[in-house]
């Protein structure tokens, strides 16, 4: 299918500038000329693969952007794709990645399949010269993530992995607070993200699933983004339930981590810790307005900083420091940041050529750290991490 959209160029540039602000792009990145020759319609054509739970949150975001046209949806359970197509008025439906790639042309694949399907799907899309936004992790093995990055380079396209947490205003505020010296030298940090576990799909509990890849990944991304690349890792993981009941498969054997503790050494004396699980009481997050659920704590020699809310959807930052030892709340406004806005963010980056704070190098590093945690659990050893990424993220 050919796009039949025409758009006035001046209006388009005006719209994308407004949208840049709307989707949380730093104002100093705006003003770049849109690369209209690469995208003559002035829109990024998107195909989304994986029409399960999270697609129900991605598609309202994608379809409400004037610079995005959702061209196709795909799922191996094709009824799911048909349902999403009907719900969001998407013209083309496919039952597998091969037919999708051979079908209606699109520029950006949004991969919201189950975690074990990410690498195989991404490996088909990149040689077909599609840019890829992949849910996390982009692959289960570091060698596969490296291959994906090589494939992207060879084919002149990009791959970006979820999550989006480094693009929130609260993340940026924490970076700026640390740089200002207000909390002194940062020495330690703690993050937590858990709930009772997904009840809809069995793969979350099987090989290639687990709470660290699904939930802890947000905290690992936040801490590597805030404190820098990790040098070494120690981890412990347990399975609490022998089996779980899920909607798609009935009773499944639990094979992946359900309860995980990860310690990271960022070098220069800085340690951070992430706890994550599918075995956590989660009533607290429904406690209603006014709650101060801290999930990310950063401690320095002169102060301390706590993120309110989850790092994928923060709602403020509380700080106490020398001379102001009572917590004060800052940066309440989430702006237009959206936890499912990552594909929209990179589509905007594609159109304007503006650099993305989310990078595959960072995603690969996060994957290596998570796999080091699994290896530490398996071997009882402390594991060295080899990869790195451009840090600090800003400037």
Ligand X SMILES: NC(=O)c1ccc[n+]([C@@H]2O[C@H](COP(=O)([O-])OP(=O)(O)OC[C@H]3O[C@@H](n4cnc5c(N)ncnc54)[C@H](O)[C@@H]3O)[C@@H](O)[C@H]2O)c1
Instruction: Please report, as ranges, the residues that interact with ligand X according to CB under 6 A.
Output: 49-54, 74-77, 80, 96-97, 112-115, 117, 121, 135-136, 200-201, 214
Q: How far is the CB of 50 from ligand X (least distance, A)?
A: 3
**Residue nearer to ligand X on the CB measure, 206 or 349:** 206
Q: How far is the CB of 74 from ligand X (least distance, A)?
A: 6
Cβ-proximal residue to ligand X, closest one: 52
Q: How far is the CB of 162 from ligand X (least distance, A)?
A: 6
Report d(CA 230, CA 87) in Å as an integer.
Answer: 43
**Residue nearer to ligand X on the CB measure, 244 or 266:** 244
Report d(CA 203, CA 52) in Å as an integer.
Answer: 12
**Residue nearer to ligand X on the CB measure, 43 or 136:** 136
**Residue nearer to ligand X on the CB measure, 201 or 241:** 201
**Residue nearer to ligand X on the CB measure, 77 or 179:** 77
**Residue nearer to ligand X on the CB measure, 75 or 257:** 75
Q: How far is the CB of 297 from ligand X (least distance, A)?
A: 23
CA atoms within 13 A on the CB side of 59: 25
Report d(CA 99, CA 102) in Å as an integer.
Answer: 5
**Residue nearer to ligand X on the CB measure, 338 or 376:** 338
CA distances from 57 to 63, 94, 148 (A): 11, 20, 26
Q: How far is the CB of 283 from ligand X (least distance, A)?
A: 18
Q: How far is the CB of 54 from ligand X (least distance, A)?
A: 4
**Residue nearer to ligand X on the CB measure, 135 or 354:** 135
* Structure tokens that stand for 365 in this block: 């590093």
Q: How far is the CB of 252 from ligand X (least distance, A)?
A: 13
Which residue, 393, 392, 374, is CA-closest to 142?
Answer: 374
Q: How far is the CB of 250 from ligand X (least distance, A)?
A: 15
């Amino acid at each position: 299918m050919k796009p039949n959209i025409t758009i006035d160029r001046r209006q388009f540039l005006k719209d994308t500038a407004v949208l840049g602000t709307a989707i949380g792009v730093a104002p100093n990145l705006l003003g770049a000329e849109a690369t209209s020759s690469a995208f003559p319609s002035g829109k990024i054509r998107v195909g989304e693969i994986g029409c399960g739970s999270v697609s129900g949150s991605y598609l309202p975001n994608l379809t409400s952007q004037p610079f995005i046209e959702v061209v196709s949806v795909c799922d191996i359970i094709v009824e799911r794709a048909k349902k999403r197509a009907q719900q969001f008025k998407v013209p083309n439906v496919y039952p597998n990645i091969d037919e999708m790639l051979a079908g209606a042309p699109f520029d950006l694949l949004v991969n919201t399949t189950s975690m074990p399907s990410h690498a195989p799907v991404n490996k088909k899309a990149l040689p077909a010269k599609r840019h890829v936004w992949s849910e996390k992790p982009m692959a289960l093995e570091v060698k596969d993530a490296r291959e994906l990055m090589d494939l992207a380079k060879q084919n002149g396209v990009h791959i970006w992995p979820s999550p989006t947490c480094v693009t929130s205003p609260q993340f940026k505020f924490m970076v700026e607070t640390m740089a200002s010296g207000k909390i002194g030298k940062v020495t330690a940090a703690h993050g937590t993200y858990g709930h009772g576990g997904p009840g809809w799909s069995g793969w979350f509990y099987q090989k290639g699933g687990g709470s660290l890849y699904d939930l802890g990944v947000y905290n690992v991304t936040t801490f590597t983004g805030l404190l820098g690349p990790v040098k070494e890792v120690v981890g412990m993981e347990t399975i609490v339930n022998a089996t779980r009941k899920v909607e798609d498969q009935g009773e499944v054997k639990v094979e992946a981590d359900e309860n995980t503790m990860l310690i990271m050494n960022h070098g220069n004396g800085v340690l951070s810790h992430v706890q994550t699980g599918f075995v956590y009481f989660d009533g607290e997050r429904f406690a209603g307005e006014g709650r101060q659920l801290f999930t990310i704590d950063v401690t320095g020699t002169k102060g301390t900083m706590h993120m309110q809310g989850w790092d994928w959807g923060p709602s403020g930052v509380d700080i106490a420091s020398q001379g102001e030892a009572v917590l004060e709340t800052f940066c309440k406004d989430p702006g237009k940041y959206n936890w499912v806005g990552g594909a929209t963010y990179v589509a905007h980056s594609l159109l304007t050529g503006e650099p993305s704070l989310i990078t595959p190098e960072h995603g690969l590093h996060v994957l290596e750290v998570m796999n080091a945690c699994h290896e530490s659990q398996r071997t009882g050893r402390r594991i060295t991490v080899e990869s790195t990424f451009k840090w600090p993220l800003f400037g």
